[in-house]
Chains A and B, each alone.
Chain A
Amino acid sequence: MSRFGEERESNERFSRRLNYVLWMLVILTGVLIGRLIYLQVHAVKTYRTLSYENRIYTRQLSPERGDLYDRHGEVLATNRLDYSVSVVPELIEDREALLAWLDDVLAGSGYEREAFLKRLRASRIPYSSVEIAAGFGLEAVARIAEGRYRFRGIKIGARSLRHYPQGEIAAHVIGYLSTPDAEDLRRHESDAVLYRHINRIGRTGLEAQHEAVLVGRAGHETVEVDVRGNAVRQLKVQSPQPGGDVVTSLDLGMMRAAHRAMRGRRGAVVALDVATGAVRVLLSSPAFDPGALNSLNYQRWTESRDKPLFNRALQAQYPPGSVIKPVVALSGLRQGVLNWEDVVHDRGVYTPKRGNRIYRDWQENGHGETDLFKAIYRSCDVYFWSYAERIGVESLGVSLGEFGLGRSLGLGDTPGLIPSPQWRKVSGRAPWMPGDLLNLIIGQGDLLASPLQLAYMTAVLASSDGQVPLPSFEADAPPGRAPGLNDDGTLQTGLDAPEQAGVGLGGAPGLNDDETLQTGLDTPEQALWFAGYTQADIDNVRRALLRVTAADGTAPRASWGHRFAIAGKTGTAQVVTLPQWDDEGNPLKKSDVELSEEQQDHALFIGYAPAEAPEVAVVAVVENGGSGGRVASEVVRDVVVSYLRAEQRRRTRSAVADQGDEASGGVQ
């Protein structure tokens, strides 16, 4: 029986020990169930959220930015697809084969093997893509798409890049995009998310002006993604609304002609439509290549002596020189100080009654017997000096203001400056001297104007009724509406005030009031400014301006090489003030002084054409182009001729088309 006893003892020990083990299992089970209850009941919300965020991804869909066109539908700014190719490192199976294949298909498309390998090594996040190369053409994309089936994890991406097919021809006027800063984001508060996403905003030029139209509306989509970030399923989508295209008033043909004529010299060209004030050309030279705009080049261009980023057409201010003489003449005529008969004998020197300074005409020996007509087309300084005191600084300032000088014209242009004794006093400068008036009357001294203002002045001079809407980039009115409709034009400028400057020959409304400090004008006098100018005086001034481009005018070259009638006026902007006397006390002549290139005078020319019924007004400034404005007159000529030839071709074409219509109509 002992055997059974031992057996029983053995069994009891076994049961006891098994019970210990089972109790352990029970405790462990309790811990597990507790853990599960904690995770799945207590913390379920947290983990639900985490799992939702894991798989649901809402992303912005960028709208395509709108295109910019010139008036004939040529593209100024558009978008180009920029391709990139990337790979998920975890999915690479045969690294050597992949690298060999990449060397093959991406040869010559900017792919750098070492840079890629470096990015590959630096990759930390599992299953995130690593860029292989970007910014190559469609051809390389095709080669990749063709061979990528052999490898896993190769992704081709595309993003939209701004593209300026015209290069530097329209660089300044189109402007450029850049990264939005805090100020931009505050200004576009409702679109801040969009701007953060697309990370670019129109910074300057038309890109900035039409930002609201061009940018479009963002869309978004909610997708379910897998662990690699691949969209598995689209849950919700709101398509982006692409930005609107903007047709502008610019004329690329004229822009090209202007760019060619400037030959990279420093300066600016502005052309306006006389009837509508529409900007046809707004060119600053030298220009930059908008496609090459990056931080490196930006700095290089900023430091360059030529300042290619500076928009001279709007931001530069020059003493306009003799180009203001037609306005001075009209001002004197309105007061009755000047008339077309009186003659001044010009020996090349003017000596004021007070003071010991002498004033030299640009023509050393003088112009001889000079009436107003000749004084305009020969640009005789002595003639205007003789009447300076009687014309007076106030009325001269008023006239210049009436023609658009001394205030910004609403395109972000500099206001320039019309000096006056008051302005001198208010700004705390040296008191106004009689000599300042003599400088002012020939457009020198403190008087400053931007090329845009001078173009506007020219357009007013050339217009039929003296009313030119403020310059704008609005496209021409659709066919059927008469061009130059005043109320349309005013609305299109986008300015608050409906008023505009212009030579009012038939009861135009009064001018707006501006900052007196800068214009030097008193506003009350402006209300009746238009009353004085007569049609006869205007016509005579225009005849004199046409004579400027004749053989005995100051700009005969403006007539070379074509048969169009161009009227205009030369001007010289002095860069440095020359000493009047030499060391021995003898009067100095201009030709006696040696000037460096950068001390050379700026050449200016304003012109309009056709002279009998002006359509386009053009101004050209060539910095350090020399006295007399000859080089500038050539630039204006080229721009005007390109416009007139294009118009001629267009008219011929439409005439032929009309005849064709009639012929086909006749058959029936």
Chain B
Amino acid sequence: MSWNWEPRKLFSRRLVAPLDPLLLILLFLLSVFGLGLLYSATNGNADAVLRQGIFTAIGFVLMFAVAHLPLRDIKIMAFFAALIGFGLLLLTLAFGVELNGSQRWLPVLPGIVLQPSELMKTILPFVLAVYLGAAVAPGAMMSVGQTLIGSALICTAALLVILQPDLGTAVMLLVSGAAAMLLGGLRRYWVFGSAALVLVSPWLIWPFLAEYQRQRVLTFLNPGDDPLGAGWNISQSLIAIGSGGIEGKGYLQGTQSHLDFVPESHTDFIFSVLAEEGGLISCLVLMVLFAAVLWRTLALLDGFRARAHRIFAAAFVVTFILQGMINIAMACALLPVVGLPLPLISQGGSGKIAALMGFGLIMAMSYHRHRYRFLDNGA
């Protein structure tokens, strides 16, 4: 009898080849970092950590799968991605589960809900990148028609999310869409025009905000008005961060979060827990990890030939980093609290899976970078 089993075949070079080891390690480190922080933020709730761990595992499996996509029919992929993304958002508005006054979740299995707006953060730049890569001629700028089509896609997605309502995610969708358009060849006057629009946007968004969201914005503008009411969250978060000092109070030793002074410490304010227990050093470590993800993605992107790939990778990773920075800025009272998770760290399955799938797509693009050199030129 011949012993025919060979491990190398199971884990063959072809199977792991699309994965970028450096990016994989960085994402893995961030995920582990997040799980450890979540354990502290939930007061040692092992169930919550296990649940998040399962989501993380699913996310990595899906990233693995996505990294193996051949990308030959990228337009069809984008078409179906758009169909799924917008479809799920519409379904959410129709059948979503309401919690805390907003309807963001779609029940898929008993006990498991999906947050389509999080998936949209990956889908929207992908769809736009493919569209722009295909439609805009090399060296040309976007035409008025192309600009309007792109804007329509962005605004539709943002509107569907605002109606839930979920201001934070809608803003992130606008940011990711804007990044894709900017890199895809948006004409300069459009750039400045939309920048001006952003400046007046608060007055445009205001009527769509729920009462609690308006309250949050007002609290940010006048934090002293109601220190025991709506201003409570932000002042307790500041105390948590400030009292952490350089070295922090030690893992699981944060009094602010463990005695429930910091609200939403497992989602929007998880950074406060890190800052309190790990101090400035841990905050910088986290930022370095994020910066490394950005750096590695940009390094990969440098080798891409297809414009759609470049646009997607850049728009996606910029949005990813920006969301992390906005989250930290909110915890530090630099921005009004609108409710945005810290990517890959905060509790929540959809966001985590969507982000990992996005990076999986970037890996696939990197793997096939030589094959799809001129893909965007109407192949």
A residues bordering B, Cβ < 8 Å? 3, 5-7, 9-11, 13-14, 17-18, 21-22, 25, 28-29, 31-33, 35-37, 39-41, 43-44, 46-48, 50-52, 54-55, 124-126, 224-228, 232
Question: Is B246's beta carbon under 8 Å from chain A?
Answer: yes
Q: Would B182 and A21 count as touching, CB distance under 8 A?
A: yes
Within the complex, which residue of A25, A29, A40 is in contact with B279, where a contact is CB–CB below 8 Å? A40
Q: Provide the bound-state CA to CA distance between A182 and B140, in Å.
A: 86
**Apart from the given pairs A7-B139, A40-B283, 8 other A-B contacts in the complex at a CB distance below 8 Å:** A17-B182, A29-B325, A31-B329, A48-B245, A50-B239, A224-B255, A226-B259, A226-B261
If A13-B185, A39-B332, A40-B245 touch, whether A25 touches B228 (CB-CB below 8 Å) is: no
- 23 pairs of residues in contact across A and B, judged by CB atoms under 8 Å: A7-B138, A10-B139, A10-B140, A17-B182, A21-B314, A28-B322, A39-B242, A40-B246, A40-B280, A41-B246, A43-B242, A47-B239, A47-B242, A47-B243, A48-B242, A48-B243, A51-B255, A54-B259, A54-B261, A55-B256, A55-B259, A225-B259, A227-B260
B residues bordering A, Cβ < 8 Å? 137-140, 179, 182-183, 185, 228-229, 232, 236, 238-246, 255-256, 259-261, 275-276, 279-280, 283-284, 287, 291, 294, 298, 307, 310-311, 314, 318, 321-322, 325, 328-329, 332, 334, 374, 377
A637 CB to closest chain B CB (Å) equals 68
Q: Would B255 and A54 count as touching, CB distance under 8 A?
A: yes
Q: Provide the bound-state CA to CA distance between A7 and B244, in Å.
A: 51
Within the complex, which residue of B138, B140, B329 is in contact with A32, where a contact is CB–CB below 8 Å? B329
CB nearest neighbor in B for A49? B243
Q: Would B183 and A14 count as touching, CB distance under 8 A?
A: yes
CB nearest neighbor in B for A4? B138
Minimum-distance CB pairs A-B, first 3: A47-B242, A6-B139, A51-B243
- Neighbouring B residues of A124 by C-beta, 8 Å: 228
Q: Provide the bound-state CA to CA distance between A226 and B256, in Å.
A: 9
If A55-B255, A227-B260 touch, whether A41 touches B245 (CB-CB below 8 Å) is: yes
Q: Would A54 and B246 count as touching, CB distance under 8 A?
A: no
Q: Provide the bound-state CA to CA distance between A495 and B259, in Å.
A: 57
- Neighbouring B residues of A52 by C-beta, 8 Å: 243
If A47-B242, A51-B240 touch, whether A40 touches B275 (CB-CB below 8 Å) is: yes
Q: Provide the bound-state CA to CA distance between A232 and B261, in Å.
A: 13
Q: Provide the bound-state CA to CA distance between A115 and B294, in Å.
A: 60
Q: Would B137 and A6 count as touching, CB distance under 8 A?
A: yes
If A13-B185, A124-B228 touch, whether A40 touches B260 (CB-CB below 8 Å) is: no
If A40-B242, A40-B245, A41-B246 touch, whether A228 touches B260 (CB-CB below 8 Å) is: yes
Q: Would A226 and B260 count as touching, CB distance under 8 A?
A: yes
Q: Would A10 and B185 count as touching, CB distance under 8 A?
A: yes
Q: Would B255 and A14 count as touching, CB distance under 8 A?
A: no
Q: Would B246 and A29 count as touching, CB distance under 8 A?
A: no
Q: Would B243 and A36 count as touching, CB distance under 8 A?
A: no
A641 CB to closest chain B CB (Å) equals 67
Q: Provide the bound-state CA to CA distance between A55 and B328, in Å.
A: 24
Q: Would B275 and A51 count as touching, CB distance under 8 A?
A: no
Q: Provide the bound-state CA to CA distance between A278 and B213, in Å.
A: 76
Q: Provide the bound-state CA to CA distance between A51 and B256, in Å.
A: 7
CB nearest neighbor in B for A48? B243
Q: Would B318 and A21 count as touching, CB distance under 8 A?
A: yes
Q: Provide the bound-state CA to CA distance between A36 and B246, in Å.
A: 10
- Neighbouring A residues of B298 by C-beta, 8 Å: 18, 22
- Neighbouring B residues of A6 by C-beta, 8 Å: 137-140
If A39-B241, A44-B245, A55-B261 touch, whether A32 touches B325 (CB-CB below 8 Å) is: yes
A361 CB to closest chain B CB (Å) equals 82
CB nearest neighbor in A for B235? A50
A127 CB to closest chain B CB (Å) equals 9
- Neighbouring B residues of A25 by C-beta, 8 Å: 294, 318, 321-322, 325
- Neighbouring A residues of B185 by C-beta, 8 Å: 10, 13
- Neighbouring A residues of B280 by C-beta, 8 Å: 36-37, 40-41
Q: How many A-B contacts are there with CB distance less than 8 Å? A: 137
Q: Provide the bound-state CA to CA distance between A103 and B374, in Å.
A: 78
- Neighbouring B residues of A3 by C-beta, 8 Å: 138, 377
Within the complex, which residue of A9, A11, A35 is in contact with B334, where a contact is CB–CB below 8 Å? A35
CB nearest neighbor in B for A3? B138
If A37-B280, A224-B259, A227-B260 touch, whether A21 touches B242 (CB-CB below 8 Å) is: no
Q: Would B260 and A51 count as touching, CB distance under 8 A?
A: no
Q: Provide the bound-state CA to CA distance between A48 and B242, in Å.
A: 7
Q: Provide the bound-state CA to CA distance between A55 and B276, in Å.
A: 14
CB nearest neighbor in A for B333? A35
- Neighbouring B residues of A227 by C-beta, 8 Å: 259-261
Within the complex, which residue of A17, A33, A50 is in contact with B183, where a contact is CB–CB below 8 Å? A17
Q: Would A32 and B256 count as touching, CB distance under 8 A?
A: no
- Neighbouring A residues of B284 by C-beta, 8 Å: 33
Q: Provide the bound-state CA to CA distance between A7 and B374, in Å.
A: 9
B181 CB to closest chain A CB (Å) equals 10
Q: Provide the bound-state CA to CA distance between A55 and B280, in Å.
A: 22
- Neighbouring A residues of B374 by C-beta, 8 Å: 7
Q: Would A50 and B243 count as touching, CB distance under 8 A?
A: yes
- Neighbouring A residues of B229 by C-beta, 8 Å: 126
CB nearest neighbor in B for A31? B334
- Neighbouring B residues of A46 by C-beta, 8 Å: 242
Q: Provide the bound-state CA to CA distance between A32 and B335, in Å.
A: 11
A11 CB to closest chain B CB (Å) equals 8
CB nearest neighbor in B for A7? B138
CB nearest neighbor in A for B263? A227
- Neighbouring A residues of B246 by C-beta, 8 Å: 40-41, 44
Q: Would A18 and B183 count as touching, CB distance under 8 A?
A: yes
Q: Would A47 and B334 count as touching, CB distance under 8 A?
A: no
Q: Provide the bound-state CA to CA distance between A6 and B307, in Å.
A: 12
Q: Would A36 and B260 count as touching, CB distance under 8 A?
A: no
CB nearest neighbor in B for A226? B259
Q: Provide the bound-state CA to CA distance between A6 and B185, in Å.
A: 13
Q: Provide the bound-state CA to CA distance between A634 and B242, in Å.
A: 81
- Neighbouring A residues of B245 by C-beta, 8 Å: 40-41, 44, 48
Within the complex, which residue of B276, B294, B325 is in contact with A28, where a contact is CB–CB below 8 Å? B325
A559 CB to closest chain B CB (Å) equals 76
B161 CB to closest chain A CB (Å) equals 22
Q: Provide the bound-state CA to CA distance between A33 and B325, in Å.
A: 10
Q: Provide the bound-state CA to CA distance between A393 and B291, in Å.
A: 110
B239 CB to closest chain A CB (Å) equals 5
Q: Would B283 and A36 count as touching, CB distance under 8 A?
A: yes
- Neighbouring A residues of B261 by C-beta, 8 Å: 51, 54-55, 226-227
CB nearest neighbor in A for B307? A10
Q: Provide the bound-state CA to CA distance between A40 and B284, in Å.
A: 12
- Neighbouring A residues of B275 by C-beta, 8 Å: 36, 39-40
- Give the most central of A37, A51, A232: most B CB within 10 Å: A51
- Neighbouring B residues of A17 by C-beta, 8 Å: 182-183
Within the complex, which residue of A32, A47, A55, A228 is in contact with B238, where a contact is CB–CB below 8 Å? A47
Q: Would B241 and A40 count as touching, CB distance under 8 A?
A: yes
- Neighbouring A residues of B307 by C-beta, 8 Å: 10-11, 14
Within the complex, which residue of B139, B241, B329 is in contact with A9, where a contact is CB–CB below 8 Å? B139
A14 CB to closest chain B CB (Å) equals 6
B269 CB to closest chain A CB (Å) equals 13
If A21-B318, A126-B229, A226-B259 touch, whether A36 touches B332 (CB-CB below 8 Å) is: yes
- Give the most central of A13, A33, A39: most B CB within 10 Å: A39
B315 CB to closest chain A CB (Å) equals 9
- Neighbouring A residues of B332 by C-beta, 8 Å: 32, 35-36, 39
Q: Provide the bound-state CA to CA distance between A214 and B316, in Å.
A: 75
Q: Provide the bound-state CA to CA distance between A41 and B255, in Å.
A: 19
